[in-house]
Structure 1
Amino acid sequence: MQLTFQHDPRGESLTLIRRADGAVFTLSSYTRKWRVPHDLSHAVVERELCIADGIFGVIAAGAVFSSMTQIEGKKRHDAKVRSARILKAAKGVGISEAIAAVIHEAVEKRQPTPYAEARERWGVISQDPCPYLDEDIHRATTILRELGEQWSASLQPLEFPWPAKLCATDPQRSRTQAS
């Protein structure tokens, strides 16, 4: 999957999503109040922390959010059912929302890497120990800072390749393959 973050003339950002199945979508992002697009924070955090079933991992697997519009490719006959099934099985969307929000806020406010805040947010989601090391949180924060600076300094689109390994599981596809 390939993500392209584009500046929208209204002051927003727009993400162009080219999925491996040939479908191309736009994802509207309402980020006028932020210097760095919130969806970019999701992409960076999910990629750097290897959250396969976060926002972009479920999109890669076939989920479609209401803020997405398909602009190319053949629409699947079962797109809504498939999307709902993938989203129901995904646990990483909430994790991504929590951790990306903390890192995004630190970058926006030019604060230090939010190690303790990220672990605290994890603790709200799970009783298990936080799986993300300080170096992981630092890397995600540093990359978001760098990409945020690039985004702010230029009106050129920001290309963001998505790793193929970070794709949520479609429960029905898994059952079919196991049979």
Structure 2
Amino acid sequence: MCKRGVTLDDMHLTFQHDPRGESLTLIRRADGAVFTLSSYTRKWRVPHDLSHAVTERELGIADGIFGVIAAGAVFSTMTQIEGKARYDAKVRSDRILKAAKGVGVSEAIAAVIHEAVEKRQPTPYAQVRESWGVISQDPCPYPDEDINRATTVLRELGEQWSATPEPLQFPWPTRLRATDPKSARVRAR
């Protein structure tokens, strides 16, 4: 797997096959916290959470699902299994999620790319732009080459996922970490 500008301080994702036919994502954040994220994807050949990770990374969505997790957000489907929980973990998570605008973008666009890969359809350029148009009146910021790359990478990783029971390593680049509004105010002083 290509490491695309990843350093040792980055978050790492490991997509694991769950014996129940699901997928489980192991999330190792740069702050030392380790979580599991259950994915209920039995009906899909490619895990839905993998489609989020690929779409967000390839399109540069820093405040999508995995970008907010990298910044300190915790979703109810996550379980911390290692590391010490921060004293303000819930407040911090809520603050990051409230400020993040990319979670909805990620949900909409990852779903379109995921469906195209699942149904073995061509790259969904028009559908991505249509989904973006539901979210914003601004022109879609994702050029065709980025949409194509996201679709191609998800196709390749989906084939790899289906071909082997081995975990799939997925490094997460630091540049795609959402902003914690409180941290930004502290740095600005």
Q: TM-score, normalised by structure 2?
A: 0.94
Alpha-carbon separation, structure 2, partners of 1:111 and 1:34: 15
Is 2:136 aligned against 1:126? yes
Aligned residues: 179
Q: Distance in 2 between matches of 1:109 and 1:13?
A: 19
Letter in 1 for 2:108: A
Any gaps of 5 or more consecutive residues in structure 1? Answer: none
Give the letter for the 2:73 counterpart.
A
Q: 1:31 offset after TM fit, Å?
A: 0.2
Shift of 1:177: 1.0
| RMSD, aligned CA | 0.3
Match of 1:46 in 2: 56
Q: Any residues of structure 2 matched to 1:85-96 within 5 Å, and which?
A: 85-96=95-106
Gaps of 5+ in 2: 1-10
Residue 166 of structure 2 corresponds to residue 156 of structure 1: yes
- Partner Cα distance (2:182, 2:143) in 1: 33
| Among candidates 13, 21, 27, match of residue 31 of structure 2 | 21
1:44 Cα offset (Å): 0.2
State the SS of the aligned residue for 1:145.
helix
Among all aligned residue pairs of Structure 1 and Structure 2, give the percentage whose two residues are the same amino acid: 85
Q: Amino acid of the residue matched to residue 110 of structure 2?
A: A
1:63 maps to 2:73? yes
Instruction: Report the equivalent of 1:10.
Output: 20
